[in-house]
Structure 1
Amino acid sequence: MIPNTNEIAKQTLIALKERKLKPTPENYTEIFEELSLKYGITSSNKAKLDKYKTLLLPIYQQELNSKTIRSLEELISFLISVLNRQIG
């Protein structure tokens, strides 16, 4: 049975405790995404990242595939680094 979002959130908190990780937004998001994928559920965060990725030119999509991007902030950092390389 596929759990609902509340159940995944509960499992996320349990996993954080079991792994002895601090409940920071980054750690929570990483574990939540991991558990969501386990049940075949795409989180809204991953859906947004995938959507923005498809808007990039193929060369940047390939470069992005070699990186671990878990949040919009990380995507923005990647894009800034690409822009800075082009200018510099």
Structure 2
Amino acid sequence: MDCELDLAEGGPITCPTLALWSAMGPLAAWYDPLEIWRAWCTDVRGRPVAAGHFLPEEAPDEVTLELVRFLSGTPHAAAGASPTL
């Protein structure tokens, strides 16, 4: 209900949005995370990260790489790519 009201009253999120999720586990098999976020955001990008539940703790280099690329406007790395800054 709140989500529907948010979209009706304020529209979608229009700023660039980064979505990262775990590559481990069934999430990506159950859903297309980017497709879900596209219902809420006009400019969303992201990819799975080789980590479990807490991405920054389990894959700090990969998360940092994606944040630096996102904030600098550089395209994100392909899933499974080696993190290099």
For normalisation by structure 2, the TM-score amounts to 0.28
Higher-Rg member (1/2): 1
Higher RCO (CA < 8 A, seq sep 6+):
2
User: Which protein is richer in strand relative to its size?
Assistant: 2
User: Which protein is richer in helix relative to its size?
Assistant: 1
